[in-house]
Every structure is written in structure tokens, then in C-alpha cells.
Structure 1
Amino acid sequence: MWDSLATGANTVPQLHLDPDRALPPDPATRELARTVYAQTRSLPLLCMHGHVDAALLADDTPFGDPAGMLITPDHYVTRLIHAAGVPLEALGVGTPDPDSRAIWRTFCANWRLFRGTPSRYWLTHELVDVFGVDTAPSEATADQLYDELTARLAEPAFRPRALFERFGIEVLATTDSPLDDLDAHARLAADGWGSRVIPTFRPDALVHLARPSWIADVAALAKRADVATDDYDGYLTALRARRQAFIAAGALATDHGHESADTTPLSDAEARRVYAAALAGQVTPADAAAFAGHMLFQMAAMSCEDGLVMQLHPGVLRDHNDEAHRRYGPDRGFDIPVAVEFTRSLRPLLQSFGRHPALRLILFTVDETVHTRELAPLAGVYPAVRLGAPWWFLDSPDGLRRFRAAVTETAGFYNTAGFVDDTRAFASIPARHDLARRIDAGHLAGLVAGGLLDLDEAVETAVDLAYTIPREVYARPAG
């Protein structure tokens, strides 16, 4: 997948995809991995957690330009270029009328910054496999590439729904606020896509009381749910109503992005007191943190009632730079991992619901220190718990390998939940899933080469990891 070496003054570096990329380097193990990967490479994609806008597929309008599709919305890309001193505005972030060609030139001039990163893997896959481009980005080739990609994007085959079909996506879950009217999902349903593009209930804006917009958001929740939220009990009723609306629109899961994994419940009286203080604009940071943990407990209780899978993504300090947040908004690459503790934090939730047959709790982390010590043992004993795929800074070749090595001996393969791409960059979806399948093929091939697994078992497990397990974990409960 790396650039070929230029050997003459007029030689243009080329992009290519090594057919054995990310597979084990040992020849014997690599041959086994090829056999395993061959059985998963063409399986449908189950994209159960991500951030593609449903309106993209509902509208099905052509992508405007290469920069708007591949660069500006992808904070994996913009953050690395910004780290080299390039203003985010030069990448189209926070700019009302961006110069797409100039953005593309900036990206190409900084192509070297992505060497050795998963973004390089995904971008190369996108350019070569999705768009049929074989010229490496550089200052010299920027305009040629821009024109070539612009011509591709004008073709009907590169519209969103056509790419969705070409990528082999079976289900794509978006991530949506309870305040969303779900209009895009309704339009997709009217076109027969209702079971293929589904919403996910993400209540973060409504459970973190210290957010500046929280009072306004709770008022908007009342309007959207048609339930008064002027007290704590009404607030819970409104959230339940919105969960039902999401289920009616096809939702299979909730998603929760908390800094802590704390799930300590408050008494009803204490919850009512903190909620009232927040409505009055007088909540303390300690009370806000306690209420967030309390609401994770409540969300688990609600999942036991309505069957929505609960996904928890703790351990990230959001919007690390205040000025960047003010200027550009959230999700611009300034969310930074922090250490997170799971064992004691999740104990209240798991004491009450960890063996409840209706709860499925999928745990994600960007803190690798807890894989062996906490997450694998929790998933290895509680029926409700599944381990989510390596996420964000860990969905890289080595991050994925370390995950399998760290958790499998304690939790096994079947207490995991399949791969999630967690992307806003639509065209990168097949690249991300392909990488995960290659890494799993390599891990399983190593077990076969070491005499720990038969080849037929390795193939069966690879298919399960890529397809069968996520279908089962995210399925609606019977009845």
C-alpha cells in the first residue's frame, strides 16, 4: 500500500494495495491467514456504531468535492495535519465557504504525515479501491488527483446509495440525539431502507447537567416527547417516550459517551433534588457527575425494559481545548483519552442487571491497561457484558492485535461484539472493516500454526467475528 520508489526525474509515485497487507509476515502463518481471510473478505458489513448522517443517504445527492468527502469531516485526518501547525480553517473546518481545491492541495502536501498510521491505510484503500486512483498524493499531483476524483464523484455510481450497495453494507446504524425528529430515517423507511439505515439513541446532551445548553435541551425534549420535563419524573418519562420513538424507527441500541464509567444510583429523592437544582442553574460539578453516573444506571434499567443494546464509551476528556471548541464545535480531534476504572464503577449496574436476560452491555475503551485486568474478566463472567472492538485511537493494526492477545484467553471470542467502524468518513467504512478482518485472520492463523486451533475452527470463528456475532448481539429480543 506504500508509495513505490521514484527512480527517475519524471517518475510519479504510485499507490498500490498489497494483497497481503496487515497479514502476519511469517510465510507459513501468512498462508494460513490468507485461507481464513478469504472466507470473510466478501461478507456483508454490519456497521452497528458510527456517525454517518442519515440525511446523506436519505437525500442521496452527489458528494460535492473530494475535500468535503474525504478530509474536512474526518477528524482522524484533520488532527494530524493540524498537529503539524496547519490551521484547521485551511482544512475547511469552521469555514463557511471553504476553498475545496486549496484544502485538497494542503492535504496532498502533507501526505507524508500519515505514514504508519491507520488513516494512511484507510485513505490508501479509499483512493485505490473505491475511486480507482493509483497516483500518490503530493504537491505535484494534487490538482490532477482533485480533477480525477471530482469527475468520479459526478458519476451515478459514486452517489451515497450506490456506494452503500457497492460496499456490501447490510445495516448501518447512525448516532442520533433524542431531540432528533428522525425525519431522514422516516424518508429512508419510505424508500424501503428502514431496516438498512437505523438510528441509535445517544442521550449524552440530556444527562450531563453541566453542559451550557442543558436547560434548553431539556425544554426541547419536552416538546419532542410531548411530556413535561419540569421535574425529574417527567424527564424520565420523556426519555422513555423517545426511546420508544427510536425503536419504532428501527433502533437496536443506545450509545453513551461518559468520561467515567461510574454507575452509582442516587435515591429518587436525591435525583429529584439534583435535577431541580440543574433546572434552576445551580447544579454543582460534583452533583452533575453523580447524576451522570446515576443516569447510566437508569439507562441500563430502561434497556432491561425495552431491549435496546447499551453501548458505553467512557474514558475520554471531550473538547480538551476550550478555544478550539468555541471556534469549531465538538468532534474536531481534541477529545483525548484518560485512564478509566471499570470494576468498581460498573459494580452497581452489574449487581442489579449484569445477569438480567434482557440486558446486553457492550463496553468500549481507549485505555488498553484495562483489557486484561478488568474488561476481559467482566465479560468472562457476566452474561450481559460484551467487549466492544478497539475504538478510536486503538482501531489500528497493532491496536487490534493487542486487543485479541489481551482479552481472548480470559473472555474468549464469543464474549465480544464484532467490529464497529465509528466513522464520519463514509468512504472509509469498507477499509476499516477490511483491516479488522485481516487482523482477526492473522490472529486465528497464529493459533492454528501454534497447534491451538484447527483450521476449520479458525475459519468458523472468523466468520462469526465478522458477521454472526454482531447480528446476534444487536438483534431485537424475541417477544
Structure 2
Amino acid sequence: MNDDFLLGGPTARWLFHEVAKTLPIHDFHNHLDPTVFRENGGFPHLTALWLDQDHYKWRAMRQAGLSEQLITGEASPEEKFAAWAHTLSLAPGNPLFIWSHLELRALGIQEVLTPTTATRIFRMASERLASKEYSARKIVELFHVRTLGTTDDPSSELEAHKALAREDLSFSVRPTFRPDKLLTLQAPLFRRYLHDFSEAIGITIDNAEALWDALEVRMDYFYHLGCRSADHALPDTAFLEPSARSESLLNRLLKNEELTPTEALEVRSYLLVGLAQRYAERGWVMQLHWGALRNVNSRGLRHQGTDAGYDVMSGPLDISSLSRFLNTLENKDQLPKTILYNLNPSDATPLAVLAGAFSHSVPGKVQLGAAWWFNDHQRGNQQQIGILAEQGLLGTSVGMLTDSRSLLSLARHEYFRRIFCSQLGSWVEEGDFPSDESLLVPLVKGVCYENAARFFSFEESQS
């Protein structure tokens, strides 16, 4: 890959190299462990940094027919790395090939990873990772990161976030409020979570009022530590308008009573509306992810656990139900800033159109999110950018996020920026948009960095 890969024409190359390339990064949604930055240790080898938690790579390695021993098993780090090099040799067109080489570049390695070069690259990378120049914090600084938004359960004490907030860092590590376990409404699971949540925060939760009080306390605690966003991974968009009985249904659930599926849906809807109202009061962004069918391989789940590469894409969303949810909040003037993420590509246009029906007062108040997960490849990003442009205002987009457990995945911001600049450049060269620096530069700066800072109020909360 040369310096101009993915950059189709002279305008794209100018936009990327002169404007986008050196912009800082707000990675506002990821699954990184904040203790890594508090401890700020090194990494014993590239396998630890690259393969130990990356289910994207695990999935590809299984598709290559490799033994689980070489993926999540007891093989040596060097053997696992060689297995990954073999997998990449089968992966033209897969974004993992480009991402891997962008990540190697971050370590100063320009060589192409192949089965032949694997041993040399493994040893070279591991030697560099042993240096203090490649500690967790130094790697974040290499990517010019300003914000990392982790994913945190409401019960978390956020000890690492507290410790990091006391340090003079060039970047902030902010918690994100992720109450998904609260919305798992099967009575035994719900009661078990409520018991653990209550124990963790020291508040007795035996009725709906106590639950809301506890959640408010935790939201304020998160806010104090820099949280400006909540995130939900929902199985579907099903929604029932909360009614006068919703609170009593929740009280029944808190007493360990089973609810019918319809009653459970009403309680979930009631909780979602109540949470969203409280996000709006705090000026938080509500991020909503749909479309993942989890753990479809039960044997794999038994042996490797969750988040191990066994999730897939579900069918199209029910947009009418989602519109009722947003409308319920809008009618109360309590709709927070919202980002809608689709996993099924067929949902992107309907979600972008829906966003336009609820946007006002804030640029892109409700907007379609970046290409996510199985869509985060060249064609998927191009399609998502095109839909954002066709059905809304591309210049209001908050741009890219990694949604990753792998630190070096921050390189995906460069991947997105190259694709974005190439798309914008092609419109200019085809005569669809003016070749006007006063228009193009703010667009690139906005989508790649500045819009996220404003939308999530990062700059305001740092001042």
C-alpha cells in the first residue's frame, strides 16, 4: 500500500494529505479496557495486542480452517501470529488486510505481512512493543487521540476513569453509560442483575421509584467523570407506548414475578423512554445499535464464550415501532441527541430518512451512524456515506468510531478518512460539488473531528 491507497484522484489526495491526515481523533465509542491506560504497561508481543481480544480476526481465522488452538487456544504467541499471517494471505478485499497493515505502520513497520515475513515482523514488532515508546498511552498519542469513550455498566465504580482524570494526559478516557443488562427482562436474570447493581452502589432497589433514583445517582456519577453519552445494543426496535400500568408492571418484575411477552415489552419501552428523558436532561447523546443476532453457534458459545465471533446480522428493522419511540420522546420535548446504527445494510436508508423527521435545533440532532461492524469495509463505508449525503446532510455527521476491543484499531480512523476524502473528491471531479477550498476544508474537518467534539460536548466539558 502506497501513501495514496484508496485515494482515487488529485482532490482526494489533497483533502486527505493536507486536511484529514493529521486531524486529532474522538473515538467516542469503543470497548477498550480503561485499566490498560491507568497501568500504562507495555505489551509482551504483537499477538497480545492484536489477537487476544479481537473477534473480527478470530472469525476470519476460523474461516481459514485453522484449529481453535491457534486462535483462542494454547498455541504459542508466535504460532498464533503465523496463523494470522496465513489468514491474511487469503483475504484480498477484506478490510482486515488493510487494517492490519495500517496497524503495522503505527509501529513503524512498512513491510507486507505474509507467511514468509511473519517471523521477522513478529520479532521486530515485539521488540518495539517492549519499549516505553509503545506503552498503551504512547500508542494512543501516536494516533493523535483526544477522546476515548469506553463502554461501562451502570454498576461500575469507574476506578480507572477516576485515576486517569487526576492525571495530566493529552487525551481523555470517558465512560459511556451502557444499561443493557437492565433491559434483559426475564425475571431471574433481571432480579440477579438488580441484586448485583444494588450491592455495587449501596442502594436498596425494591420498587420502580427506587430504581429510577438509583439510576439518576449513577448517571450523575458518570457525568461527573466525563460521561456525555449512553449506548444501547438492542435486539430489535419493538416498542409499546408506556401506559398508566407500566410502573406497576415494573414493580411486579421487581418482586420476581414473571411477565407475559407483551407486558415485558411494555416495561422495556417504559424503561427506554425514562432513560432517554434523563439523557436529554443531561445533554447526553443516545447511541442505539440494532441488528445483531447473538451467539448463533451454541457450541462455540460453550467453548469460547460471548463476543468470540459467533454473532451475525439479523433481518430488517421495524421502522414504524422505532418512529413511535422517537415520537413519544419528541412529543414531550425530551428527545436527546441520537445516533442510529444499522447492522443490516437494508436498514441504512430507512434510518437516515427517519432521522430527518426528528432533527431540529441541533445540527444532525438525530442521525445515521457510521458503517458498523460487518459494514465497516470500503463498499460499506461508501454506501453509508452516500446514504448520509442523499437523505440528510453529510456535513453534520459525527463520523467514525471503532467500536473495538483492540487498541491498534484506532488505525480505522485513517481508513475511514481515506474513503471519505475519496468519495468527496470524486464528487468534486465529476462536477457534483464545487472545487472550493472554503467549502471542502470545513466539511472534512467537521466530519473527521470537529462535529463529534460539538455533538458530544467534549470541548465544553474539558474547559
TM-score, with structure 1 as normaliser: 0.88
2:191 equivalent in structure 1: 215
For residues 358 and 271 of structure 1, do their structure 2 counterparts lie closer, same or farther at Cα, with a shift above 3 Å needed? closer
Opposite residue 267 of structure 1, the aligned amino acid is: S
The answer to whether the 8 A contact 2:101-2:112 is kept is no
2:99 equivalent in structure 1: 122
The answer to whether the 8 A contact 2:253-2:259 is kept is yes
The answer to whether the 8 A contact 1:44-1:169 is kept is yes
1:467 equivalent in structure 2: 449
2:11 equivalent in structure 1: 32
1:440 to 402, 415, 420: 420
Return the alpha-carbon distance in structure 2 between the equivalents of residues 332 and 450 of structure 1: 43
**1:68 has 2:40 as partner:** no
Return the alpha-carbon distance in structure 1 between the equivalents of residues 459 and 144 of structure 2: 25
Q: Write the mapping of 1:309-328 to structure 2, written as runs, cut at 5 A.
A: 309-328=285-304
2:386 to 386, 405, 408: 405
Tell me by how many angstroms 1:244 deviates: 1.1
The answer to whether the 8 A contact 1:60-1:160 is kept is yes
For residues 352 and 58 of structure 1, do their structure 2 counterparts lie closer, same or farther at Cα, with a shift above 3 Å needed? same
Tell me by how many angstroms 1:293 deviates: 3.3
Tell me by how many angstroms 1:290 deviates: 4.0
Tell me by how many angstroms 1:474 deviates: 0.8
Return the alpha-carbon distance in structure 2 between the equivalents of residues 193 and 62 of structure 1: 17
1:258 to 234, 240, 245: 234
The answer to whether the 8 A contact 1:362-1:386 is kept is yes
Q: RMSD of the TM alignment (CA)?
A: 2.4
Return the alpha-carbon distance in structure 2 between the equivalents of residues 279 and 145 of structure 1: 58
For residues 32 and 476 of structure 1, do their structure 2 counterparts lie closer, same or farther at Cα, with a shift above 3 Å needed? closer
For residues 282 and 324 of structure 1, do their structure 2 counterparts lie closer, same or farther at Cα, with a shift above 3 Å needed? farther
Task: Tell me the secondary structure at the aligned position of residue 234 of structure 2.
Answer: coil
- Can you list the C-alpha shifts for 1:321-363, whole angstroms capped at 9, x where unaligned? 2232232222111111112425312223322333747720111
1:332 equivalent in structure 2: 308
Return the alpha-carbon distance in structure 2 between the equivalents of residues 478 and 102 of structure 1: 47
- Can you list the C-alpha shifts for 1:135-183, whole angstroms capped at 9, x where unaligned? 5230x43332222221111011111111111110011111111121101
**1:86 has 2:66 as partner:** yes
For residues 75 and 260 of structure 1, do their structure 2 counterparts lie closer, same or farther at Cα, with a shift above 3 Å needed? same
Tell me by how many angstroms 1:476 deviates: 6.3
Opposite residue 389 of structure 1, the aligned amino acid is: A
- Can you list the C-alpha shifts for 1:123-145, whole angstroms capped at 9, x where unaligned? 0111234342515230x433322
Q: Write the mapping of 1:336-415 to structure 2, written as runs, cut at 5 A.
A: 336-341=312-317, 343-354=319-330, 356=333, 359-379=336-356, 381-383=358-360, 384-415=365-396
TM-score, with structure 2 as normaliser: 0.91
Task: Tell me the secondary structure at the aligned position of residue 113 of structure 1.
Answer: coil
2:399 to 397, 402, 418: 418
Larger deviation: 334-343 or 75-84? 334-343
2:432 equivalent in structure 1: 452
**1:224 has 2:208 as partner:** no
Return the alpha-carbon distance in structure 1 between the equivalents of residues 317 and 287 of structure 2: 16
Tell me by how many angstroms 1:231 deviates: 1.9
The answer to whether the 8 A contact 2:24-2:449 is kept is yes
1:245 equivalent in structure 2: 221
The answer to whether the 8 A contact 1:307-1:477 is kept is no
Return the alpha-carbon distance in structure 2 between the equivalents of residues 213 and 86 of structure 1: 36
Task: Tell me the secondary structure at the aligned position of residue 20 of structure 2.
Answer: coil
For residues 344 and 194 of structure 1, do their structure 2 counterparts lie closer, same or farther at Cα, with a shift above 3 Å needed? farther
Task: Tell me the secondary structure at the aligned position of residue 110 of structure 1.
Answer: helix
For residues 56 and 311 of structure 1, do their structure 2 counterparts lie closer, same or farther at Cα, with a shift above 3 Å needed? same
For residues 317 and 410 of structure 1, do their structure 2 counterparts lie closer, same or farther at Cα, with a shift above 3 Å needed? same
Tell me by how many angstroms 1:381 deviates: 4.7
Opposite residue 322 of structure 1, the aligned amino acid is: S
Task: Tell me the secondary structure at the aligned position of residue 148 of structure 2.
Answer: strand
1:112 to 81, 89, 97: 89
Q: Which runs of 5+ in 2 are unaligned?
A: none
Tell me by how many angstroms 1:107 deviates: 1.6
For residues 133 and 445 of structure 1, do their structure 2 counterparts lie closer, same or farther at Cα, with a shift above 3 Å needed? closer
For residues 335 and 290 of structure 1, do their structure 2 counterparts lie closer, same or farther at Cα, with a shift above 3 Å needed? farther
The answer to whether the 8 A contact 2:370-2:400 is kept is yes
2:7 equivalent in structure 1: 23
How many residue pairs were aligned?
Answer: 453
Tell me by how many angstroms 1:226 deviates: 2.7
The answer to whether the 8 A contact 1:32-1:445 is kept is yes
Opposite residue 325 of structure 1, the aligned amino acid is: L
